[in-house]
Homo-oligomer: A and B are copies of this chain.
Amino acid sequence: MNGAESLVHTLLACGVDTCFSNPGTSEMHFVAALDRIPGMRCVLGLFEGVVTGAADGYARMAGRPAATLLHCGPGLANGLANLHNARRAATPIVNITGDQATYHRPLDAPLTADTEGFARGVSGWVRTATSAATVGRDAAAAVQAARTAPGQIATLILPADTAWTKGGVVAETLPVPERPRADPHQVRVAADVLRRGERTLIVLGGDALTEAGLALAHRVAARTGASLTAMGSNGRIARGRGRVAVNRIPYPVDQAVKALGGFRHVVLVACRKPVIFFAYPGKPGSPVPDDADVHVLARPEQDPVDALARLADEVGAPAASVPDAGPRPEPARGAITPESFAPTLAALLPEQAVVADEAITFGRGFFPGTVAAAPHDWLQVTGGAIGGGMPLATGAALGAPGRRVVNLQADGSAMYTLQALWTQARERLDVTTIVFSNRKYQILLGELANVGANPGRTALDMMDLGNPDLDFVGLARGMGVEGARADTCERFADLFAQSLRMQGPFLIELPT
C-alpha cells in the first residue's frame, strides 16, 4: 500500500466519502488511489474556486466535511477565496493539496510555490506530510481538526513522493473532541443581564441559528423582553414557516448602527462582536453602541443550543410557540423589482429548499421578504469574497440530496466562478440558479456615491458590466445547463415552477 492509498482508506474510515477535485500531475497517485479504492464520490470542478466553494456548501448541509483535491501552489491559490468564505462560516473541510516531491522542491521547478504559506491564511490546521508511512495518521489528524468545534479548514499538503512511496499505513479514526459547553458563569451573567429588564439584544451566529437554537432563543426573548437578531453573515439559517424568524444585522453601516441603536446590552451566542464590513471616514467600526455592555453566552466553539437551553431554564422561560409568520405571500405580477421578487419567491419556494444567497444589492430585501415561505435553509457567502454563490449551491445540492437548491445570484459575482454550472450539469444537480442581471457592480456604485462627487467615465466603466452585455442563458447553455430569461414575475413563476419539476439544473436570468 502506498501513501496515497493509506490516505484514501483513512479518509473513508473517518467518514469522509466525498471529494471535490481538480487534480494536476503531482496528484496522480492520489487520483490512482481514488480510482482503485471504491467508496469515494469524486466530483470534478473546472476551477479550484468551484472545488473549495462546493466543499463549503456540502459540509454546511451534510454536517460533515468533504475532502478537496487541489493541485500544488497556484491550484490551492485559486481556491483560497472560497476557503476564506468557508473559514468565516467555520465550515469543516479536509483540504488536500498536492505538492512537489520532498526532494524535488529544492530545485524550484516552475510550478513550485509557497503552498504552506498560501494555506496558512485560511486554515485552522496545516500540515505537510513527510513520509508515506505517516500520511494515514496525518489524514486522521486532519479530519479530527476539521471536525473540532466549531469546525475549521484543515489543510493537508501531500508531497508527491509521500503519495507514491510504499509503506502507507491506514490510521485509526481519532476522536473528535466533545464540544465544550458554556461555563456556568457565562449562563448566569447572561441571565442576570436579561433579568434587569434593560434593552438587551441577543445576537445569534453559528448553530444558534438551527431550528432548535432559534426556538430556545425565542423562549428566552419571550420571557425577558430581549430582542433577537442574527449576525450579518451566517453559514446556515433555519427559516420559513414553523421556524422563529430573525432579522440579520444589515450590511450598510448606517442601517446597522440604527438597528443596534439604543441597546444597553448585547449578548453574543456563537459569534463574535459584530463589526462593520469596511471602515468609512467618520463612521464607527462596530454597530454596537459605545455605551453598551457586551456579554458572551457562548463562544463560537461552545455549544450554543446547550447554552441557550440552560439560559432558558435559568430565566424560567416557559415553552413558547413559534410566532406565526403570517400567510404565505401571493406571487406578484408585472416587472421584477426587489419588492415584487421577494413575495414571488416566498410563494413558490418548495418545502425544504436550500437557498444559496449571493444576490447582494438587488437581494437585500429577499431575506425579510421570504419569512413566510415554506421551511427552508438559507446559506450566505460568509466572508464577503464574491464568487461564493454558485459553488455553494453546487456543494449544497450534493450535501442535501432530494432538496431543491435555489441560488439567488448577482451577475458580477456570478462571473467569478461560473464554471460551477458545468459541475451542476455533469452531476445533474437539482439547482435552480436565478441571476439578477443589473449589468453593474451596483454595490460599488453605492460605495462610490458615499465617497462623494459625481463619478466620471473612468469610475463608471470600472463598475459597468454592460458594453458588452453578458448573456447568462447563453453562458449556461455553453456549459450544458438549460436556461431562459424572464422580464415579468409571471414569466419567472412559470420558469421557476418548470425548474422544480425537472431533474437537474436550470438557470433563469432576470434583467433588472
Is A74 close to B, CB under 8 A? Answer: yes
- Least CB distance, A262 to chain B, in whole angstroms: 22
Select which of B25, B117, B447, B477 is within 8 A of A443 by beta carbon. B25
Is A240 close to B, CB under 8 A? Answer: no
Chain B minimum-CB-distance residue to A78: B81
Is A340 close to B, CB under 8 A? Answer: no
Is A498 close to B, CB under 8 A? Answer: no
Is A472 close to B, CB under 8 A? Answer: yes
Assess the A470–B415 pair: CB atoms within 8 A: no
- Least CB distance, A41 to chain B, in whole angstroms: 9
Chain B minimum-CB-distance residue to A38: B458
Assess the B458–A35 pair: CB atoms within 8 A: yes
Assess the A161–B279 pair: CB atoms within 8 A: yes
Number of copies: 2
Is A137 close to B, CB under 8 A? Answer: no
Residues of B within 8 A of A412 (CB): 46
Residues of B within 8 A of A465 (CB): 46
Residues 387-426 (chain A) with a chain B CB within 8 angstroms: 387, 412, 415-416, 418-419, 422, 425-426
Assess the A78–B118 pair: CB atoms within 8 A: no
Is A384 close to B, CB under 8 A? Answer: yes
Chain B minimum-CB-distance residue to A415: B46
Chain B minimum-CB-distance residue to A421: B468
Chain B minimum-CB-distance residue to A49: B78
Is A181 close to B, CB under 8 A? Answer: no
Is A471 close to B, CB under 8 A? Answer: yes
Is A42 close to B, CB under 8 A? Answer: yes
> Which segment, of A99-107, A304-312, A351-359, A486-494, faces chain B?
A99-107
Is A88 close to B, CB under 8 A? Answer: yes
Assess the B23–A382 pair: CB atoms within 8 A: no
Residues 449-504 (chain A) with a chain B CB within 8 angstroms: 450-453, 455-459, 461-462, 464-465, 467-475, 477-480
Is A47 close to B, CB under 8 A? Answer: yes
Assess the A78–B387 pair: CB atoms within 8 A: yes
Assess the B425–A415 pair: CB atoms within 8 A: no
> Which segment, of A26-34, A150-158, A215-223, A317-325, faces chain B?
A26-34
Distance of A104 Cα from B280 Cα, bound (Å) = 9
Residues 185-211 (chain A) with a chain B CB within 8 angstroms: none
Assess the B467–A477 pair: CB atoms within 8 A: no
> Which segment, of A60-68, A139-147, A270-278, A342-350, faces chain B?
A270-278
Select which of B109, B114, B422 is within 8 A of A275 by beta carbon. B109
Distance of A101 Cα from B277 Cα, bound (Å) = 11
Distance of A66 Cα from B23 Cα, bound (Å) = 32
Assess the B110–A382 pair: CB atoms within 8 A: yes
- Least CB distance, A23 to chain B, in whole angstroms: 6
Known pairs A118-B118, A462-B44, A480-B469; A451 contacts B107 (CB<8 A): no
Assess the A277–B110 pair: CB atoms within 8 A: yes
Q: Which of A44, A113, A120, A161 has the most CB of B within 10 A?
A: A113
Assess the A35–B455 pair: CB atoms within 8 A: yes
- Least CB distance, A110 to chain B, in whole angstroms: 5
Residues of B within 8 A of A121 (CB): 113-114, 117-118
Residues of B within 8 A of A46 (CB): 412, 415-416, 465
Chain B minimum-CB-distance residue to A73: B84
Assess the A84–B107 pair: CB atoms within 8 A: no
Is A448 close to B, CB under 8 A? Answer: yes
Residues 1-55 (chain A) with a chain B CB within 8 angstroms: 21, 23-26, 28-29, 31-32, 34-36, 40, 42, 44, 46-47, 49
Is A108 close to B, CB under 8 A? Answer: yes
Select which of B107, B384, B448 is within 8 A of A286 by beta carbon. B107
Is A174 close to B, CB under 8 A? Answer: no
Is A281 close to B, CB under 8 A? Answer: yes
13 A-B pairs whose Cβ atoms sit less than 8 Å apart in the complex: A25-B443, A32-B448, A32-B455, A42-B461, A77-B385, A104-B276, A104-B278, A109-B277, A111-B384, A469-B480, A470-B480, A471-B479, A472-B478
A-B pairs, top 4 by smallest CB distance, nearest first, are A468-B480, A74-B385, A114-B121, A104-B279
Given contacts A25-B443, A108-B272, 20 further A-B contacts (CB under 8 A): A28-B444, A31-B458, A32-B459, A35-B458, A40-B458, A42-B458, A44-B462, A46-B465, A74-B85, A74-B385, A77-B81, A101-B279, A107-B285, A110-B233, A113-B383, A160-B279, A161-B281, A473-B478, A475-B475, A475-B479
